Amino acid sequence: FNDNLNGVERPATFEPRDFPGTHLEVPFSLAKWKRWALHYYGLEPGKGIVTDFRGLRCDDDVDFTHSLYVDQFDWEKHIAQEDRNVEYLKETVRGIYKAVYDTEQVLCNKYGYESLLPEELVFATSDDMIKEYPHATPKERENILCKKHKAVFFIGIGGLKEDGELRHDGRAPDYDDWITQRPDGGYGLNGDLLVWNPVLQQSFELSSMGIRVNPETLIKQLDLCKVPERRNFVWHKMLLDGTLPQTIGGGIGQSRTCQFMLRCAHIGEVQHGWYNPKEVDVLKKKGINLLGLGEFEADPAAMSQ
């Protein structure tokens, strides 16, 4: 039931003391579990769950915007088959963005700093941006969009271009639908909520979400990612036989949102974790002290055995 992310990340694992041979994993996210939970709790279409999630990602980047420790509002909603379309996705995104916008307005009014977010969100697609900026990297395309519009929902994450390269970032084959063709001719019913971060002078992801795979798209995406054997896993069998409902879901980064709202240069200003010691030193010279432990050398006498 663990999220596969890009399919190469190692999960944090452990064995309970009193149950030798039992393999347990700290989850990367709740992408699969949430969909199962909607089935388990019997939630009807239009209803969903929001979780206050904590996870570990051993192979994630450790930089100004990434941490090994993940905290996010992981959410999932039961939808009807006819809701599997880009307009339903956009409607959901607008509701989430309004909450982000309203939150920033409250903070700006209370503490007297300048608002950065526009009231209206702009929608863009990776397919159109590739045509317009064919030689730019995915990050450069994001920067172009966000610097211009300040807040963008970037549709179509995952999948390959005709040349075999990633279209725009990677996505696991078994949660977001990144293969269904939209009326605009592009592909994918998922996306990232991005804003322009003036402190870091770059695009800044607050949330990732999408309409989830149905049985047909699951099989196609597993085959495209060359992991057809997954259809024999318990969770995948439950999806293929119709036990799991059709859903839309995503995650809203808690520390990432706090970092943006408080205009912090580093995620370690709002989250206690381990960070790159070189970055810690650079930031200290700038008068920025992180909450994390990157400034300490390993103590051999205190190392866990």
Active-site residue set: 3, 57, 72, 192, 205, 208
Neighbour-count burial for 55-66, b at 16+ CB within 10 Å, e otherwise: bebeebebebbe
In residues, how long is the chain?
305
